[in-house]
A and B are shown apart, each in its own frame.
Chain A
Amino acid sequence: MLQEANEPTSGNDAREAVVQCRRLTKVYKKLLSSRAKAVRALNEVSLSVRPGQIVGLIGPNGAGKSTLLNLIAGLIFPTNGDVTVCGHPARSIQARQSLGYMPEHPVFLGGYSARATLRYHGALLGLSRATIADQVDKSVQRLQLQEFIDRPCADFSQGMKQRLALGVAMLNEPQLLLLDEPSNGLDPVGIIQLRDLLKQLQDTGAAVVISSHRLGELEKLTGDYMFMHHGQIITFGDNAMARRAGQLLVGLESNGPRLAETLLPASKVLEASETELALAVDDPAEVPDIVTKLAEGGARITQVVLQHENIEETFLRLCDEGRQ
């Protein structure tokens, strides 16, 4: 379960969680530069990701998504707070044994083939020769790398690189998979395969954290979103929570502005014309109350339409709220 920013988590959660961040702060400061020029990329972020959960990390550029991924991957040190992966401090050998990481722009040795690259990473994981061979075969099958498995990586297209990077990240069947823009350069078939693979991985109890700007794709992959802005988690949770906000359009015969003014709180009224009211609703459960209130106040309602936000609209709304 994702927990609210700045909210400390219980010890029990810490044991169960695949990722546990406590009051995580990261400030980037260049050597010898003044404190005023320091950038606070993350500000006291606390979260917990449980086994089998796929979390979509969204937010505008500079929100702190990649910083959070890098901290979980143990590539950078937190300024304050701590991160654990499967109960071990990030950057520890034990944490890295449970981790698969795919960067936004994967880079491989140009002279190595895809097979040699997978073998190299298998060796770094400490797998035996036989296990590596087995894992390479598995990766070839599930990512359909047959066509280019023995070609040098220098000749790979972006899509091929992404597939191979995914194979590398999933080589040890990790308990935690961190993906930064995984569908970059993938063709539609590759995206569908990615989705299937992540669902399979989820079924094995692994947790996946995906940072992506492709909201439509993300929507098909996961129901859990974490929206970040200015280094903080603004909202979190499943589809319903992230997309709870919607617009209620109420068709009237007449007197729209007067009814809105007398019967509804000003904060709820988005637009009011003679024959239509556009009202903000945080929860669909509010709709019957609003309609009843309007009817009891004398409104002659002709139509009621509840419009839900899609993920893009939610994203834009949260960005606006964040800016304000």
Chain B
Amino acid sequence: MRAYELLRETLWRRRYIWIVHVVWLALYVMFWWLYYPDPEEFGGVLFLSGGFLLPLALSAGIIGDDIASGRICVVLTRPLRPGTLFVYRLLGLSLQGAIHFLLGGIVILVLHVVTRKGSTEGLAFWLFLSWLLFNTWAALSTSSSVLLKRSHNSLLLLVAFVTIGGVLHILIWNLRNYAIGDVLKGILRYGFPPDGLLRDLGNGEFEEKNVTLAGLDLPRALVYTVHSLLLTVVYALPGILIFRKKQFLSERD
């Protein structure tokens, strides 16, 4: 009952969340209808809109709203650890993402069957990869929402991503002949949300190229999936730790 209510809350906390889901699904349909894209093109759109922008839109103020309004003060006087609340907020987002991509997949399949145009090859894989990316951004955004009031977390992440990503790319280009360039490249590729990594995976660039980890020969898809899930946990941890230690003053007289 508690889990159900905490997950449900993430969907009902703001009225526009339903609208966001519907608009995004409509975007997929329009893109399909207008361009009948090949799997790679459609994968790119899913990544940008569903994997990156959608979690930012859905997680705007996911904890900051409650902190700013003071609602958190009543919620946290319940027998519930702040860390648990954080995890349920993130799980709620992740569940919304899963259902969103499932619905998106069904809509595209129906369109494909009806129009007999375009290709649905690898669609399920692209949807899964988009969901993995969605989770990493959702975790980053939820963590930043502990620190930033209202919806500033999403906006700040967007600005930070563009700024830091841009600076790193410039640095990597200029330092491409030095060892530090490779280090920066590694940080960008494995420490940042795995947009590029998962897109490459979706494009089939790593087929038949396994990864050897601790003496084990593992499929690259599995390694990158685990990597994305681990990044989600790593991005969530600072938020949980700060939230646990944060003080919430309902009203100072």
Contacts and interface: CB of A to CB of B under 8 A. Distances in A.
A120 B236 CA distance: 24
A124 B2 CA distance: 5
Interface stretch (B73-81, B203-211, B214-222): B73-81
B1 A66 contact: no
Contact of B1 (A62, A75, A123): A123
Contact of A129 (B1, B247, B248): B1
Centre residue among B6, B71, B74, B247 by max chain A CB count within 10 A: B74
A103 B73 contact: yes
B12 A109 contact: yes
Interface residues of B, number: 29
Interface stretch (A43-51, A93-101, A239-247): A93-101
A106 to B, nearest CB: 7
Contacts of B80: 93, 96, 124
A129 B252 CA distance: 36
A111 B14 CA distance: 7
Interface string A277-315: 000000000000000000000000000000000000000
B70 A70 contact: no
A54 B19 CA distance: 47
Given A101-B74, A106-B74, A124-B78, A70 B250 contact: yes
Contacts of A110: 15
A101 B77 contact: yes
Nearest to A174: B77
Centre residue among B1, B14, B70, B253 by max chain A CB count within 10 A: B253
Contact of B247 (A62, A75, A97): A75
B79 A93 contact: yes
Contacts of A257: none
Contact of B78 (A28, A59, A62, A125): A125
Contacts of B6: 123-124
Interface string B211-253: 0000000000000000000000000000000000001111111
A209 to B, nearest CB: 13
A186 B168 CA distance: 58
A107 B69 contact: yes
Interface string A124-139: 1111110010000000
A121 B249 CA distance: 20
B79 A104 contact: no
A105 interface: yes
A76 B81 CA distance: 14
Nearest to A152: B15
Nearest to A154: B15
B9 A120 contact: yes
Nearest to B12: A111
A156 interface: no
B13 interface: yes
Contacts of A94: 79
A77 interface: yes
Contacts of A101: 73-74, 77
Contacts of A111: 12-15
A66 B2 contact: no
Interface string B145-167: 00000000000000000000000
Interface string B65-100: 000011101111111110000000000000000000
A65 interface: yes
A120 B88 CA distance: 14
A75 B252 contact: no
Interface string A167-181: 011000000000010
B178 interface: no
Contact of B70 (A41, A74, A103, A169): A103
Interface in B1-52: 1-2, 4-6, 9, 12-15
A119 interface: yes
Contacts of B78: 96, 121, 124-125
B253 A66 contact: yes
A63 B253 contact: yes
Contacts of B9: 109, 120
Interface of B: 1-2, 4-6, 9, 12-15, 69-71, 73-81, 247-253
Interface of A: 28, 41, 59, 61-67, 69-70, 73-77, 93-94, 96-97, 99-112, 119-129, 132, 165, 168-169, 180, 211
7 contacts: A59-B253, A66-B252, A104-B250, A107-B69, A109-B13, A123-B4, A123-B6
4 pairs of A and B residues whose beta carbons are closest in the complex: A123-B5, A124-B78, A101-B77, A76-B247
Given A73-B77, A109-B12, A121-B74, 11 more contacts: A66-B251, A94-B79, A97-B79, A107-B71, A120-B5, A123-B2, A125-B78, A126-B79, A129-B1, A132-B1, A168-B74
